[in-house]
Amino acid sequence: MSSRTANRIVVLLGGRSAEREVSLSSGRECVAALRSEGFEVIEIDAGPTLVDDLRAAKPDVVFNALHGRWGEDGCVQGILEWLQIPYTHSGVLASALAMDKERSKVAFADAGLPIVDSILVPREDAMADHPMRPPYVVKPNNEGSSVGVYLVHENANSPAKLDASMPDIVMVEKYVPGRELTVAVMGDRPLTVTDIYATGWYDYDAKYKEGGSTHVVPADLPKEIFDACMDYALRAHNVLGCRGISRTDFRWDEEYGLAGLVLLETNTQPGMTPTSLAPEQAAHNGISFGQLCRWLVEDASCSR
């Protein structure tokens, strides 16, 4: 879509997922950036009156800055397609598939991408006994940003004590030691590899709080590993049918070389905050935050 025809932009932010606060932060950063790029911008906190709010706003494009369920799982994308409003990021199918960790893993495995062994179990079973030999991770099958992630250590005597907010069915995934790596894909271009250093577990706070983690951009890696991350991220983006920008996360156990590199998941709505990974990678490639937001608007369409 040409920027000349996309003058009024609605930024969807907030919503009602567990990632509401991050979405508010992302959305406000995007609002400021888009205004600095010369767009007329309207903020809409996605709630029960969303359809009426969108009709009243009459946007040329919706910039989707929502995170978590209802915002990046295909639900709001379906509403926007039904209303025939061009929107950013991935479409209904890619969004739903990426949010469902188990189904996206099946797609990755079918494409020959390396994944981590995991199973789906009832929440009560995960608390009654070890579902697999520790160490392992317990997490929701359909949330992102390390929301509700529990690490059960190798010598743990008992299984995880899960919060009441965890869903009835949870994913139990083998813990892979090593370095945390990530690659953002913009359109058909992987940007670079970031090496993430956090004190302890790379959880929600490490991702979004100031000083929670350190990002090395680009990562200092053997060429074989760097190139594999770039290749796998682009392939994951295409396998799921992603559009706009995505970010794929990896773990790399250096002891095993290329065999120690595994794909964890792909995020179709990467964070757009001051500490977020995708904008850092764009900046490394000479793309400012405002230019990244403008590109997403210009990439928007009704059918994704």
CATH number for 230 = 3.30.470.20
Residues 217 and 110 in one domain: yes
Residues 128 and 76 in one domain: no
Indicate the pTM of the whole model: 0.91
Residues 155 and 78 in one domain: no
Residue 294 forms part of a structural domain = no
Residue 301 forms part of a structural domain = no
Quick one: pLDDT at residue 3? 41
Quick one: pLDDT at residue 263? 98
Mean pLDDT of the 111-124 span: 96
208 vs 150, more confident: 150
pLDDT at 208 over 70: no
Neighbours of 123 (CB within 10 A): 18
pLDDT at 201 over 80: no
Q: What is the mean pLDDT of the chain?
A: 92
Mean pLDDT of the 45-73 span: 96
Residue 270 forms part of a structural domain = yes
Quick one: pLDDT at residue 212? 59
pLDDT at 2 over 80: no
Residue 137 forms part of a structural domain = yes
Mean pLDDT of the 259-284 span: 93
Residues 56 and 166 in one domain: no
Residues 125 and 75 in one domain: no
Residues 51 and 127 in one domain: no
Q: Please answer whether residues 273 and 213 qualify as being in contact, where contact means their C-beta atoms are separated by less than 8 angstroms.
A: no
* Full domain range(s) for residue 206: 98-115+177-289
Residues 142 and 108 in one domain: no
* Total count of domains within the chain: 3
Residues 138 and 167 in one domain: yes
Residue 126 forms part of a structural domain = yes
The band of 209, judged by pLDDT with boundaries at 50, 70 and 90, is: low
pLDDT cut 90: percent of the chain above it: 82
The band of 198, judged by pLDDT with boundaries at 50, 70 and 90, is: confident
Give CA separation, 176 vs 20, 212, 227, 262, in Å.
29, 21, 20, 8
Residue 33 forms part of a structural domain = yes
Task: Give dist(CA 211, CA 160) in Å, integer.
Answer: 27
- pLDDT tens per residue, range 74-95: 999 999 999 999 999 999 999 9
Residue 302 forms part of a structural domain = no
Give CA separation, 247 vs 58, 135, 213, 236, in Å.
30, 26, 17, 9
Give CA separation, 221 vs 74, 148, 290, in Å.
35, 30, 29
Residues 274 and 182 in one domain: yes
Residues 216 and 285 in one domain: yes
Residues 106 and 227 in one domain: yes
Catalytic residues: 19, 145, 208, 247, 249, 265, 267, 271
The CATH number of the domain holding residue 54 is 3.40.50.20
The band of 207, judged by pLDDT with boundaries at 50, 70 and 90, is: low
pLDDT at 41 over 60: yes
The band of 199, judged by pLDDT with boundaries at 50, 70 and 90, is: low
Quick one: pLDDT at residue 149? 86
Lowest-pLDDT choice from 24-38, 94-108, 142-156, 288-302: 142-156
Mean pLDDT of the 244-265 span: 97
